[in-house]
Amino acid sequence: MNIENLIKPRRQTNWDWRAAGNFICGGSGSGLLLFSAIGTGPNPGYRPLALVALILIALGLFCVWLEIGRPLRSMNVLLHAQTSWMTREALVAPPLFLSGAAAAWTGAVVWIWLSALLAVLFLYCQARIVQAAKGIPAWRAQRTVPLLIATGLTEGVGLLALASTLTNTAPQVWILATLLALLVLRAMLWRAYWKELTEQKAPSKALAALNVVAIPMSGIGYWVIVALALLAMLPGFGVLAGAAGLLAVAGGWLLKYTMIVRASFNQGYALPRLPVRGGATSSSRAGAAS
């Protein structure tokens, strides 16, 4: 292989669509579980939302299991709680599922809010997993953690807005207001994240891949979602809340897939002088031998 190809930034191959699926489904499920607790509480509407949230989180973890080269050794992930955010995610998952199932079954407030708290902790662990991978500039940025957390929360309230449309329920104003606030926060964090990567001279191929995400994060796609959410607040336009929520979720999924898969270039190496095979002269070889 040409040595120039070895020192140039290359896309990592350890994490693929399965790893992205964990962050996509886990973030959306965590956000939905939180906002289901806020929006419906012990009401009958909480149960289906909580079950969908738990299914999403379980689907994300299943994607991780598919990625493991030796599935029978998957329990080893529980052995490094002191140093690994992946271990902490795995430790949070069982009580999250237990409390979520209890909340959906009983409707008890204590279980509902315990599952919501664990969902936030699960989302935080996922964001830290990405940021802890220091070899990938698009992951190790300081803005990665708040950006992924804001994205998961935006997806959660977006799914709640979509659910209100699918059940022919008029969206509550607080849902749309929260969606707008989180969209603004996500756009601000996206700009800060992009600025950090450019200032740290991230690989140009990584920036080119992430540039596609600018359309839904801060470009025309962002303004379309904002406009739909504002119109949905008007009488007779409530159905637009579902469209705004769906687009907000799609934008978050695109961001995470692009960050984890398409923009995951390593830094490469900076060598002031490239070695050339057979480039030494006979005299230099003699001098080296002496």
For 76-133, how does the pLDDT look when each residue is reduced to its tens digit (9 = 90+)? 555 556 678 889 998 999 999 999 999 999 999 999 999 999 999 999 999 999 999 8
Average pLDDT on 175-194 reads 96
Could you give the CA distance from residue 78 to residue 23 in angstroms, rounded to a whole number? Answer: 19
Kindly list the domain boundaries of the chain, sorted by start residue: 14-132, 135-267
pLDDT band at 67 (very low <50, low <70, confident <90, very high): confident
pLDDT of residue 285: 41
Give the CA distances from residue 43 to residues 26, 40, 102, 112, in Å, rounded to whole numbers and listed in that order. Answer: 24, 5, 14, 11
Residue holding tokens 């939302």? Answer: 49
How would you label 46-83 residue by residue, b for 16+ Cβ within 10 Å and e otherwise? bbebbbbbbebbbbbbebbeebeeeeeeeeebeeeeee
Architecture of domain 14-132: Up-down Bundle (1.20)
Structure tokens at 126: 């996922």
Q: Which of 222, 213, 227, 191 is nearest to 262 (CA)?
A: 213
- pLDDT for the residue numbered 287: 39
Which residues is 265 bridged to in the sheet? Answer: 11
Highest-confidence range of 101-110, 145-154, 161-170, 276-285, by mean pLDDT? Answer: 145-154
Q: Which residue type, as a one-letter code, is found at position 68?
A: I
Bigger pLDDT: 280 or 59? 59
Whole-angstrom distance, CA of residue 11 vs CA of residue 14: 9
**pTM (2 decimals)?**
0.86
